[in-house]
Amino acid sequence: MQTRGNTLRKIIDGLEAGDWSARELVTAYAARAKDGQKGTHAFVDVHEESALAAAEESDRRRAGGESRSRFDGVPIAVKDNLMVAGHRATAGSAILKDYVAPYDATVVDRLKRAGGIVIGKTNMDEFAMGSSTETSFFGPSRNPWDTERVPGGSSGGSVVAVAEGSAPAALGSDTGGSVRQPAALCGVVGLKPTYGRVSRYGLMATASSLDQIGPITRTVEDAALLLREIEGRDSNDSTSLEIKNEWRLPDSLPTSVRGLRIGLPKEYFVSGMEPGVEAAVRAAADRLAELGAELKEVELPHSKYALAVYYVLMPCEVSANLARFDGIRYGRREPAETLEGTYRRSRGSGFGREVRRRIMIGTYALSSGYYDAYYLRAMKVRRLIANDFARAFSDVDCILTPTTPTVAWKLGEMSDDPLSMYLQDIYTVSVNVAGLPAITFPCGLSEGLPVGVQLIGRQFDEKTILGAAHAYETADGGFGRYLPPEVA
């Protein structure tokens, strides 16, 4: 069967109508995923055997009228920093090259309980640190629009899988833009939920106060479908919250933006953006205005400090979270004469350069004498950034920005210049810093490559940004324009 260009909705409807079985779906997607492993390299591992077994069980349940949910039999790709019991979970790192997950992450458990099928683990920047997937120990993934270019990162593999059609939907994680930036660069939809909406249990922590798991899909409606399956309070994650009634997503998303007040932050439209990106994003804003939305300029005066705040807080949290990878209880151990020598050698050889750079920045910023100047100061500026958004949201219902400053670049172009790579996150990090939800969806092409536009919402108001994005997508004629060329 054809896998390219299928939506989650179509897969679900087809299963219900009996147009295909779960077995047929898994067979087709797994074949496509394995095919791509030598090319676009979306997958680190394809779980063909376990997925086929799960598909057969799903088909039996459906035949007996005992399907667990509408998701029963749906194949999903999962980023390799999420635990899937009995399978490798490497986070793209040499230090976990042979590590097998002992349990399921809560999001994986929820999908499985609904009958969803994990078809494999997707490639990523090592421990989610990077914007291109080039820091993966397994080598980079490639953008299906132009395989000489990066797909973005860190959830690059999940995004490539959805873009090329080796999975109908995927899970990624977003610490500073890791779902949204690659989704924009590959022409798919990516949602970063409000901090606390989705349990992080079983997600390898990069920066605990910023990380959130999010859906990567072909359409906006699909993102809403997948979010509903994974959200909600989990006793294993004390920062996850019960979904209040007013936060719930409606069964069908609105198709009108009439009367919606959309803010355009003037600080985001100054400089540094490629002209083609700016043109597409401005055209998307104008289109929303034609559809009945009201555009208003808003001010987010501390925006220019968001990236600096992020690149203090994130490495500080990274340095603490990655202390557990010491060669003792799991992962790679490189024995030395002393215990400390074992730590240093295991971590030195197990972590790649970008991960070690960030651990060192965090260690330095938290070390005696520097804490106030870096970490404490960054936490204070973090509040100023969150306050800016709170003020803006008293005037508007959501905020529209570019997702990325550029389209996809060539592999290797920025790989040894960490700071210029960090600038890729300039429009996405403040969302994590303030704990807000944001969605990216394609809004045009520049130089033949996809451009994404980002809508940022109030905390737990995913409903509004999904609704507006859905209205835009419907008026824009759907996702058809954003299918990458067929790779031979």
Partner 1 sequence: MPLLPAEVERIAELSRLELSDDERDSFRVQLSSILDYVGQLSEVDISEVEPMSHSVPLLNVLRDDVAVGCPEGVRQAVIDAFPERDEDLLKVKAVFS
Q: Which of the residues are catalytic? A: 79, 154, 178
User: How far apart are CB 376 and partner 1 at their closest, in Å?
Assistant: 6
CA dihedral 157, 161, 164, 168 (to 10 degrees): -160
Q: How far is CA 155 from CA 97, 171, 262, in A?
A: 18, 8, 28
Spatial contact of 419 and 430, defined as CB atoms under 8 Å apart? no
Closest approach, Cβ 147 to partner 1, in A, equals 28
Q: Side chain identity at 302, as an amino acid letter?
A: H
Pair 147, 39: CB distance under 8 Å: yes
C-alpha distances in angstroms, 138 versus 78, 93, 168, 486? 16, 8, 23, 24
Biggest distance spanned by C-alpha atoms of the chain: 70
Burial (CB < 10 A; 0-12, 13-18, 19+), residue 50, is middle
**Interatomic CA distance for residues 231 and 214, integer angstroms:** 10
Burial grade of 223 (CB within 10 A; 0-12, 13-18, 19 or more): buried
Nearer to partner 1, 2 or 338 (CB): 338
Report the nearest approach of partner 1 to the CB of residue 123 (Å): 22
Query: Which of residues 210 and 220 has its CB atom nearest to partner 1 in the complex?
Result: 210
Q: What are phi and psi of 88, to 5 degrees?
A: -60, 145
Indicate the SS3 state at residue 132: coil
Q: How far is the CB of 300 from partner 1 (least distance, A)?
A: 14
Question: What burial letters (b/e) apply to 443-466, b meaning 16+ CB within 10 Å?
Answer: bbbbeebbbbbbbbbbbbbbbbbb
Q: What pairs with residue 457 in β-bridges? A: 398
Pick 268 or 472: Cβ nearer partner 1 = 268
At which residue do the structure tokens 């990106």 appear? 277
CB-wise, 35 or 267, nearer to partner 1?
267
Angle 391-180-257 from CA coordinates, rounded to 5°? 55
| Shortest CB 361 distance to partner 1, Å | 6
Dist CA 96 CA 111 (whole Å): 24
Helix residue ranges per DSSP H, 1-135: 8-17, 22-36, 48-63, 106-113
CB atoms within 10 A of CB 303: 21
* 451 versus 456: smaller Cβ distance to partner 1: 456
First to last CA, the chain: 17
In the complex with partner 1, the residue whose CB is nearer, 145 or 389, is 389
Between 112 and 218, name the residue whose CB sits nearer to partner 1: 112
Give me the helix-helix angle, 377-392 and 306-321, nearest 10°: 130
CB of 331 to partner 1, least distance (A): 7
- Minimum CB–partner distance for residue 166 and partner 1 (Å): 28
Q: Measured from the CB of residue 449, what is the shortest distance to partner 1 in angstroms?
A: 27
**What does the alpha-carbon distance between residue 141 and residue 158 come to, in Å, rounded to a whole number?**
10
Report the nearest approach of partner 1 to the CB of residue 173 (Å): 16
Output 289 or 384, the one with its CB closest to partner 1.
384
Shortest Cβ distance from residue 2 to partner 1 (Å)? 38
Q: Which is nearer to partner 1, 248 or 258 (CB)?
A: 248
C-alpha distances (whole Å) from 461 to each of 243, 254, 393 are: 11, 14, 11
Angle between helices 220-230 and 462-475 (to 10 degrees): 150
Name which of 182 and 331 has its Cβ closer to partner 1: 331
